[in-house]
Amino acid sequence: MRLRNVKGSDEKVSEHSRIIENEKDYKGKWNEKFGNDNPIHIEIGMGKGKFITTLAKNNPNINYIGFEKFTKVLVRALDNLDEEELYNVYAIRMDVEQILDVFEEGEIERIYLNFSDPWPKDRHAKRRLTHHDFLERYEKVLSPNGRICFKTDNKHLFEFSLEEIEKHGWKTEKVTRDLHNSDYVEGNTMTEYEEKFVSLGMPICRLEAFKEKI
């Protein structure tokens, strides 16, 4: 479904206290921005923000940063970001292709990829967020114990992701093609899309991936 533009969305996003406009200035210094040395988790494609703000509320000792490149989507996350007690979450309006300009090597503990665009045509494979070009970027910003948590309803994207991840030397664990009927559902935080898909009886695929660093 195509979202309509919200009148004044650029101004609303730019003026919001939880939206970072000068994100490149914090490269290697994000813990100064948060005011603590807690681990940093990021979500790429945060949408309306329910997932990341729920995590922030439930895990006050973890810092969260959401990426969303579309202003008309990010403006709809402002209500979730407005919760007064959520001082451990910020959002960035930018494309993840620039992630190396925002984070220093080893600065991130976890990356969440939730229901990313599957880009179904083969000629668009490089745009998939689990393509090896993105994996190389993730590897640089992840800490030695860092990992990717990936969920999708798209079986083709899931199989592609497994192949890319394993082909390029990453390890996988907690792999399931039906999350909500698996042992890994405990503690799972759902996104808006996930709630919709589960209500329709659609299986959710999930995995965790990490690169052993020498």
Q: What counts of helices (H) and strands (E) characterise the chain?
A: 8, 8
Is 15 annotated as ligand-binding? no
User: Per the annotation, does 191 bind a ligand?
Assistant: yes
Q: What are the tokens at 101?
A: 């300009």
Residue 153 labelled as part of a binding site = yes
> What span, in angstroms and rounded, lies between the C-alpha atoms of 203 and 119?
19
User: Is 163 labelled a binding residue?
Assistant: no
Residue 43 annotated as lining a ligand binding site? yes
Tokens of 200: 């329709």
The answer to whether 11 is annotated as binding is no
Query: Has 195 been labeled as part of a binding site?
Result: no
Residue 121 annotated as part of some ligand binding site: yes
Measure the CA–CA gap between 183 and 23, rounded to whole angstroms.
38
**CA 154 – CA 204 distance, rounded (Å):** 8
Choice among 10, 82, 101, 117 that is catalytic? 117
**C-alpha distance across the termini of the chain, in Å:** 44
117 is in an annotated binding site: yes
Catalytic-residue membership of 117: yes
Pair type for strands 205-210 and 142-152: antiparallel
Q: Of 114, 133, 134, which Cα lies nearest the Cα of 54?
A: 114
Place of tokens 């959002």: 91
Q: 3-state class of 152 per DSSP?
A: strand
Establish whether 95 is an annotated binding residue: yes
| Residue 2 Cα to chain centre, angstroms | 21
Catalytic residues: 117
Residue ranges for the known binding site are 43, 68, 95, 117, 121, 153, 191-194
Residue ranges for the known binding site for substrate are 121, 153, 191-194
Residue ranges for the known binding site for S-adenosyl-L-methionine are 43, 68, 95, 117
